[in-house]
Chains A and B, each alone.
Chain A
C-alpha cells in the first residue's frame, strides 16, 4: 500500500531557491534592515558600514534624500526635512497635541495630517514610504535581487489606523509584506532564540516616539504574548523636548524660528546622549540673530526634568502585568529595547519595578530588526536549524461598536490572541427600521467620544419588522497582522454588508494607486511591470501549492471537485505565459475558488492528525 506523505506545516512543498527575505524596523528616529545569513540574523549596513538609517526625509527641488543625507539639512531646511514621521502615522492634527513643537507646515486632511513641502503636500504614509524604499534598495543591493518578502515591525500599542498606515507605506514602497510584527515580540524572538530561554519575560521597549511593554511566556518554542500595553506617543523625542524647553527657560529665549528650534532640538538630543556616559553635557549654539546659547546640563537636572516621563511608563507596566495575571516578581527576565533605554534613569526605574537588573546583552537598537529578519526568513519558507517555533500575539486595544447613548460595546477585548473572530447580535430599536449604522471603534473607554473611531458603515435593506425583532450579527475578524475587517448580516433574511476597516482615516486603495503612479520612482510602465511580476510570482506560488496538495491529499476530493481544480490549473498554466496581469489575477482567483473547500478539508485533516499526536503518514 502506498503511503501518503505529508510535510511538516510551513515546509515548502517543492525544492526551490532561497528566498530574499528581510526584516525592517521602521523606527521613529532610526530605521534598520536585517536578513538571515548563514543561519544568523545580521543588520545590513550602508557602504560606509553604518547600520542605522536615520528616519529623516528631505524633499529637494529635484529629488528626495533619506537618512544621513537628509539629516545634514535638518537645521538649515527644517520645513522640507521631516523627522519622526512615525508619530504622525494614522494621526490627525488634533492627535499631535501642540503642533508648534514641529517646524512643519501642517494641513488638516480627513483622517490623517498632511505636510506641505516644496515637493508638494505629503502624507505621513508617502514620507514613510521613502524611508522604506531606501531600506528596500539596501536589501536588494545586499541580497542581489528583488525582495521576495518583508516583515515590517510596528509598536505593539499601535492601533488599527497606525497599523494600516504602515502597511500602506510598505505597499507604496513596493515591498511585499509577509507580516506586520509587534516590535517587542520581534525583540523577544531575537532574544529568546539566542538564549534558548524559557519562562515569563517582560520586554520594555522605549523607542524614539513610542513606548511598549509586553509580557510573554516562552515555552518549548512557542512565544505567547500574554498582554501588552504602552503609549504610542511617548519616547526619546519627548526627553529631547524637555531639554529643549529647559534651554528656552534657562536662556530666556523668545519664540524661535523653525531653523533655531530644530538646531536646539538637535543640541538637546546630543546632550541627552552624552549624559548616558557623562555627568554633564555642554549646550552651545549660535542662533540666527546671533544670540549665543551657552549652558551646561547636568545629569541631576536632566533626571529631574524627565522624571515624570519615566513615571509615565509605570502604569502601562502595571496594567500589562495585571492583564497577564502575573506578579512583577514572577518575571524571569526583563529585556530592554530601543535607544531610549540607554538612559540610566530609565534602567534604574525598570530595575526597581521588577526587582532585578534588566538584560542588555543584545544591542537595543538592533534587536527588533534582527527578530523581524528571523520571522521574515521563516515566513518566506527558508529552512534553518531550530526553526520549529511559533509566535502567538495579541491585539493591544479593545474593538467594539457604538450602541445607544454613545456608549462603546466591546466585541473583541484587548489582549485577545490573534487571529480572532468574534460576533455579537444587535437588533433594531424602531418599528419598521430598514437600515442600521455601524460605527466601529477602538479603545478602552466606555464613551464613544473617548475611543478612536475606525470606520462607519451601513447595513441597508433590513425588511421592516417590529422593534427588537431583527437579528443583526456583527462579526469582527482580526488577522495575524492585527488588522480588522467587520461585516454585518441580518440573520433572518441574509442581507449583508462588510467593510475592511480603512476609509474613514487612511488612504483609499485608489489614493494608493494614484500615489504609486505619481511617484517619482514609479513611471507608469514600471507600475505595470511590477504588477505583472507580482501576479506571476503569485501564479507560480499557487500552482506549486496546488500540485503539492494534490500529491498528498487527493483522496479528499470527489471526481467533480478534482476536475474543476484540474481545469483551473490548466487555465492558469496557459495564461501564465501571456504577460497580461489582469488575466493572470483572474485565473489565480478562479483556482483559489476551486480549491477553497479542498484547503478547508486539508486543514481539518491536519488538525485531527495533530490531535492524535500522529502525522498522517504515520497513521496510514
Chain B
C-alpha cells in the first residue's frame, strides 16, 4: 500500500545524480526510519504494523542502493532503462583484466611470503583505482549524461570491489 512510485532519490529528497551528499542521505534515512520503523507502531493495528514493516523495508532498501558506489550507479542507469549487469554483455577491457590478474598473482605471492604489507599496498592500489573510476563515473553520469558508456566503468568498479574484498580476506586469514 506504500507509494512505490517514488524513486529512491525522491524518497530521500535528494537530487537524482551520482555525486551524493552522504551526510544528507544519512540524515534523511534516519528521519524516515524514525517515522516508519515498526518499533514506532508497535501499539498500532495489524494494518498499521504491516504498513510500517513495508515502509521500513522500503527505506532500508533505498538506503542500501544509494549508499554504495556501485549500487548507486547501477540504480541511476536502471532509471534510464539500462542494465549495467546485463548477462548478454559482460565484457571488460582486456587491459583492465590483465592488470587485475597481475594483482591476484601478486596477492598469492604475498600470501606465500606472509607479506602483510604487500597485501595492504595491493588493497590501497585497488582502492585508488576505484576512486578514480568513481570520479570518472560522476562526470559521465552527472555532467555528460553518457549513460550507455557508463556501463563499463560500473562493471569495473564492481570487479575492483570484489578484488579488494578478496585480498582483504587473504590478509585477515594471515593474522587469524
Contacts and interface: CB of A to CB of B under 8 A. Distances in A.
Interface of A: 9-10, 12, 149, 178-179, 219-220, 222, 314-315, 318-319, 322, 375, 378-381, 390-392, 416-422, 477, 479-480, 541-542, 545-546, 549, 588-589, 591-593, 595-604, 606-607, 609-613
A549 B42 CA distance: 15
Interface string B10-45: 011100000000000000101111111111111111
A604 B3 CA distance: 6
B162 interface: no
B13 A318 contact: no
Contact of A603 (B13, B31, B51): B51
A599 B33 contact: no
| Residue among A319, A378, A417, A591 with most chain B CB within 10 A | A417
12 contacts: A10-B42, A222-B34, A375-B39, A390-B39, A417-B63, A419-B56, A480-B38, A592-B46, A593-B47, A596-B1, A607-B36, A610-B32
A392 B54 CA distance: 15
Interface stretch (B104-112, B153-161, B168-176): B168-176
A391 to B, nearest CB: 6
B51 A591 contact: no
B55 interface: yes
| Residue among B32, B42, B61, B172 with most chain A CB within 10 A | B42
Given A9-B36, A479-B38, A610-B35, 5 more contacts: A417-B64, A418-B60, A480-B37, A599-B48, A600-B54
Contacts of B43: 10, 12, 379-381, 541, 545
B138 interface: no
A595 B36 CA distance: 17
Contacts of B176: 314-315, 318
| Residue among B41, B46, B61, B64 with most chain A CB within 10 A | B46
Given A380-B42, A480-B39, A610-B31, A603 B61 contact: no
Contacts of B133: none
Contact of A416 (B33, B40, B64): B64
A611 B41 CA distance: 19
Given A390-B33, A596-B1, A611-B13, A480 B53 contact: yes
A595 B172 contact: no
A10 to B, nearest CB: 4
Given A318-B175, A392-B37, A417-B60, A592 B45 contact: yes
B42 A178 contact: yes
Interface of B: 1-3, 11-13, 28, 30-48, 50-58, 60-61, 63-64, 168, 172, 175-176
Interface of chain B, helix or strand or loop or mixed? Answer: helix
A601 to B, nearest CB: 7
Contacts of B39: 10, 179, 375, 378-379, 390-391, 480
B35 A607 contact: yes
A486 to B, nearest CB: 14
Nearest to A600: B1
A599 B1 contact: yes
Contacts of A592: 45-47
Given A10-B40, A10-B41, A606 B35 contact: yes
Nearest to B44: A545
Contacts of B57: 419-421, 477
A179 B42 contact: yes
Contact of A607 (B40, B47, B55): B55
A391 B48 CA distance: 19
B150 to A, nearest CB: 24
Nearest to A376: B42
A422 B31 CA distance: 22
Contacts of A601: 1
Nearest to A588: B46
